[in-house]
């Protein structure tokens, strides 16, 4: 008796056909968009040859890793969303062209310098709802303006953040102490979220360099006097 493919197998077939179709499109197209959200994908195979792809989203799947050099051909990729998967590490060899990287709702425990140091064009880095205890390398992202770290396990505000940063969300962590050193050089910071932490000490002058910071998301007991 012939067996019918499961729902997951059907999804995998649809995804493979969609990728094959896109790979066969004429190469003079400039604004490719590929969205593969919510397909229950558990793995992806060999690297795709999509050098003109601008936007790629594989959110809300079951991916825990990527093959080596999977992203190597995405030379024009600006936006990448891998939110809602099972990633434990930042994927290797992410394209230097990225402007936005979304990794929320994964299982990341740390961000390493070598994972992100080449992403010099990155403006938006979203890491909320992971298991992060530390983040390293953000200081080497000169164009970063938005960093979201809410709902992690951070005990301190990340140090040496880039000077162009405008939004920093560290809400819902385990931060107990806020010092002037935490915000050194952040003169462009406009939106700061520290709500739902365990802040017991807020150092006088901690936000002195952040002239335009919006303090509406700080507990009233910790706001600078």
Tokens representing 117 are: 């140091």
How long a stretch of residues is the chain?
Answer: 225
- Using an 8 Å Cβ cutoff, are 166 and 144 in contact? no
- How many other CB atoms sit within 10 Å of the CB of residue 216? 10
pLDDT given at position 109? 93
Nearest in space to 170 (alpha carbons), one of 188, 208, 145, 196: 196
Q: pTM of the full predicted structure?
A: 0.83
pLDDT given at position 46? 67
Say how far apart CA 219 and CA 47 lie, in whole Å: 47
pLDDT given at position 9? 58
In 3-state terms, what secondary structure has residue 81? strand
Residue showing tokens 């939110």: 83
Task: Per-residue pLDDT tens, the chain, 225 aa: give them.
Answer: 555 556 555 555 555 545 544 544 444 455 588 999 999 999 988 667 788 899 999 999 999 999 888 888 898 999 999 999 999 999 988 999 999 999 999 999 999 888 898 999 999 999 999 999 988 877 789 999 999 999 999 999 998 899 999 999 999 999 999 998 899 889 899 999 999 999 999 888 888 877 655 554 555 445 444
pLDDT given at position 24? 44
Q: Which pairing describes strands 124-126 and 146-148: parallel, antiparallel, or unpaired?
A: parallel
Residue showing tokens 């434990």: 88
Tokens representing 196 are: 């739902």
What are the structural domains of the chain? 7-107 (3.80.10.10), 133-225 (3.80.10.10)
């Amino acid at each position: 008796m012939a067996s019918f493919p499961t729902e997951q197998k059907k999804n995998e077939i649809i995804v493979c056909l969609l990728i094959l179709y896109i790979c066969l499109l004429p190469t003079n197209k400039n604004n490719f968009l590929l969205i593969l959200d919510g397909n229950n994908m558990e793995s992806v195979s060999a690297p795709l040859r999509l050098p003109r792809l601008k936007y790629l989203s594989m959110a809300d799947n079951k991916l825990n890793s990527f093959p080596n050099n999977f992203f190597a051909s995405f030379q024009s990729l600006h936006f990448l969303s891998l939110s809602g998967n099972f990633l434990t590490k930042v994927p290797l060899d992410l394209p230097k062209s990225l402007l936005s990287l979304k990794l929320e709702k994964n299982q990341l425990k740390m961000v390493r310098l070598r994972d992100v140091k080449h992403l010099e064009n990155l403006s938006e880095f979203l890491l909320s709802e992971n298991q992060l205890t530390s983040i390293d390398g953000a200081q080497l992202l000169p164009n970063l303006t938005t960093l979201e770290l809410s709902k992690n396990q951070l005990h301190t505000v990340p140090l040496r953040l880039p000077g162009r940063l405008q939004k920093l969300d560290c809400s819902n962590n385990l931060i107990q102490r806020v010092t002037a050193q935490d915000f050194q050089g952040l003169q462009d910071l406009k939106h700061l979220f520290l709500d739902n932490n365990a802040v017991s000490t807020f150092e006088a002058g901690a936000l002195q360099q952040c002239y335009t910071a919006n303090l509406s998301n700080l507990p009233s007991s910790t706001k600078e006097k």
